[in-house]
Amino acid sequence: MNTEKTILIVDDDPSFSRTLADILEVEGFLVTTVTQGIKALAWVEEKTTDVAIVDLKLNDLPGLDVIAGIIKRSPKTKCIVLTGFASQTSYKNALDLGVISYIEKPYNVEELLSTIRKAT
Domain with 71 in it: 6-119
For residue 48, is it within any domain?
yes
**3-state helix, strand and coil shares in percent for the chain, rounded to the nearest 5:** 45, 20, 30
For residue 1, is it within any domain?
no
Query: To which H or E segment does residue 17 belong?
Result: helix 14-26
Closest CA to 47 of 39, 57, 59: 39
CATH number where 72 lies: 3.40.50.2300
For residue 46, is it within any domain?
yes
Give the mean pLDDT of the chain. 95
Hey, what's the torsion of the CAs at 105, 56, 14, 106, to 10 degrees? 0
Domain count, the chain: 1
For residue 41, is it within any domain?
yes
pLDDT(2) > 70: no
Q: Give dist(CA 87, CA 90) in Å, integer.
A: 5
pLDDT in tens, 39-70: 999 999 999 999 999 999 999 999 999 999 99
